[in-house]
Structure 1
Amino acid sequence: MSATIAGPDGKPRCRWCAAAPEFLAYHDSEWGFPVSDDRRLFEKLCLEGFQSGLSWRTILAKRENFRAAFHHFDFDRIAGFTDTDVTRLLQDQGIVRHRGKIEAVINNARRAQEVVKQHRSLAAYVWRFEPAPDELAPPQTASTSPASILMSKDLKKRGWAFVGPTTVYAFMQAMGLINDHAEGCVVREQAARAREAFQLPE
């Protein structure tokens, strides 16, 4: 089976983006493009945690609701959440109402503040784990990597929750730490150019 399918414009794209109508825009404009914005990085780590045991389609469909519920993933604000906020979020039908995952976001917000104190930004910390090209498996053939295992272990040591190696690998794929677009996908070259122009956070 080919790793690509023809998009609406006839150009090849990763096969997975045909699984749901909303995947195409996400694939074409977000997935695999490098990100250095702390809020977007934190958001993605949180949403990947919420996805655990669910589909990305479910999370993507609720993403705007998650953003509203968690103040657009401003971790400085989330770090101040209390039990009252947990109760509020457990009653919010627009998000995934899972106590452990909600509490993990609040915990991880506080851990993110600690990372920023040590590394000046979450981005500077995250991009330390960018894998070398020779460490990468062929596109879309792996669900973990040495780099994702290393980052997962480090995050857990720092007290983060819902950050297993598979979750971290999906985060790395989405945030452009690796370019996992299929060979032949029209967006693979665009993501590669974006990575070449990307300035690593200091």
Structure 2
Amino acid sequence: MKAVAITQRVSLVPAYGERRDCLDQAWTKFLAACGLLPVLLPNVTKAALALCEGAGIAGLVLTGGNDLAVLGGDAPERDAVENALLDLAERRGLPVLGVCRGMQVIQQRFAISLRRVEGHVAQRQVIRINGEPKEVNSYHHFAAFDSRPPLEVWAVAADGVVKAIRHSAQPMTGIMWHPERSAPFSPADVELFRQVFGVEGCAQLF
């Protein structure tokens, strides 16, 4: 199995005075279905970078959870870690797949405007992927309605919200739905992850 680094949300636990890094167990199960093994990264920049450098990772997954700090989120340390990880991925040519918030981190990096949207939390939506319909889940408060080079749009919702992007020159992809929350896992999502991270035997999706 290929190992991929994966980021975690920050969970505040006032009763214990703790800021915890956490990841839904479904992520490990989903990645296993893709032929991938997760290396969980802490929201401590130097430690996260050291793990990536020493673990022989094949790529990076930026997960969902926590709004970006510039949008009112309460986990600025996570923003710092994920931006440092994107720097590392660019230097090493590592593939990156951003999910929900993770896609927004990529969009913010390229100065794409994000704004609050309604009707995109705990919903099922039909989106268009290269013109073809696909039903996905949706759990986000902020979104973009356009893009600019080098980010290309390859999926949109009926209201015009951008639901998936890819970088025109780097192995960087973003999706706004949560593949780990589908039960059973979507074969198309599994194939997408296998394609992005170069797992053998996958179909070409785009």
In terms of fraction of residues, the more strand-rich structure is 2
TM over 0.5: no
Over alpha carbons, which structure has the higher Rg? 1
* TM, length-normalised to structure 2: 0.29
